[in-house]
A and B are shown apart, each in its own frame.
Chain A
Amino acid sequence: MEYIIIIVSAIFVNNIVLSQFLGICPFLGVSNKLSTATGMSGAVCFVITLATLVTYLLNQYLLVPFGLEFLQTIAFILVIAALVQMVEIVLKKISPSLYQALGIFLPLITTNCAVLGVAITVVTKEFTFGAESHMLNLGQAIVYALATSVGYGLAMVLFAGLREHLALNEVPKSFKGLPIALITVGILALAFLGFSGIV
């Protein structure tokens, strides 16, 4: 039951882009075309899940026993940077086609605040399940990371679809580009607000 709550909450109710404001830069940057948006979501999904696994273990077995929690920020960002680099190298060797498809998005993910955001959230925040609230265990943390990145992909793909249509329309000069895109996201976020209260 707790897993279902985590999944629904992470994808719809607390959507990472539309209600938590994480990962906005790539969200606005690469959502011009549906195909690049899908590529970016795939890469983010991969890295968020992997990074959460590694940082969760690092925190539990190294930082907490030695009382070094204050190093979380530094340790996590280094892990993420190294991880992205490693994924890039491994992918290049094992699956050149996937590497080609993800291309420039991989190195960009280091500075995507969604990755660091999720990693910090799972080790510091208590989650509420009905009446009780507690920290996530490893399995729940992984599910949360996976569901969050699915939510990221959902928002990204929806928005890319809207933007492709937007490009065909005449908009006033001052609204061109980002302003109209932001207003569109605003309306999309308004729609997602309808999900609040489900869990």
Chain B
Amino acid sequence: MGKWSTFTDGFVKNNPTFVLVLGMCPTLATTTSAVNGLEMGLATLFVLVLSNIVISLLAPVVPDKVHIPVYIVVIATFVTVLQFIMQAYTPDAYKTLGLFIPLIVVNCIVLGRAEAFANKHGVLESLLDGLGVGFGFTVSLTVIGIVREILGSGSVFGWKFISGDGILAFVMAPGAFLVLGYLMVLFNKYLKKS
């Protein structure tokens, strides 16, 4: 039960996008379509899970004074590994997400979970926490991506149901802020228990 809730907390109670409001830059920048949102979410999930595992193992031996630089190096290493993997197997996704792949290093979700969770808990729990928060992030990004894709280009996951263009502003910068703002309103109204 305790372990299961560690995993499910990431979806609603500790949802990284709508409750903790962490990692806003990739959330806004890469959700121009459902597929892009999904890919960014999965990329972050990969780094989050692996760095959570390694940091939970390292935490007891790292002196307190240098723990932040050590964590950042661990995270940056996994991001570099991810860059290699994506360049080799999904070059198209690597190109679309561009700058935001190396920027996972400074995504506050990853360092935030390392600080708030992984350095105080065991390997298994840190793994579950990484998976939960990572999936919560992926789901949020995909939902934002779906809404923007419907409004902006009239399609879902590339399947077009309206001929012609959508409201172009929604796939550009302003749409990102507006969609996230209104989704947050809905989240506050229906899902958050005060």
- Do A and B share a complex? yes
Q: Is the CB of A193 within 8 A of B174?
A: yes
- Write out the residue numbers on chain A whose beta carbons fall within 8 Å of the beta carbon of B182: 179, 183
Given contacts A20-B29, A186-B174, contact A74 B77 (CB under 8 A): yes
Per the bound structure, the CA–CA distance linking A185 and B25 in Å amounts to 13
Contact residue among A25, A77, A174 (Cβ-Cβ distance under 8 Å from B105): A77
B106–A179 contact, CB under 8 A?
no
A81 at the interface (CB under 8 A from B): yes
A183 lies within 8 A of B83 (CB): no
A24, A73, A173 pick with most chain B CB within 10 angstroms? A73
**Residues B77 and A23 in contact, CB atoms below 8 Å apart:** no
Cα distance A179–B184 in the bound complex, in angstroms: 6
Q: Please tell me if A19 contacts chain B, counting CB pairs below 8 Å.
A: yes
CB-based contact B103/A111 at 8 Å: no
Q: How many of A's residues come within 8 Å of B, CB to CB?
A: 41
| Residue from B69, B73, B106 with most neighbouring chain A CB atoms (10 Å) | B106
The residue from B73, B83, B106 contacting A116, defined by CB atoms under 8 A apart: B106
B174 to chain A: which residues have CB within 8 Å? 186-187, 189-190, 193
- Contact indicator A185/B177 (Cβ below 8 Å): yes
Provide the residues of chain A in CB contact with B105, threshold 8 Å.
73, 77, 116
* Chain B residues with CB below 8 A from A189, complex form: 173-174, 176-177
Query: Within 8 Å CB of A113, what residues of B?
Result: 25, 103, 106-107
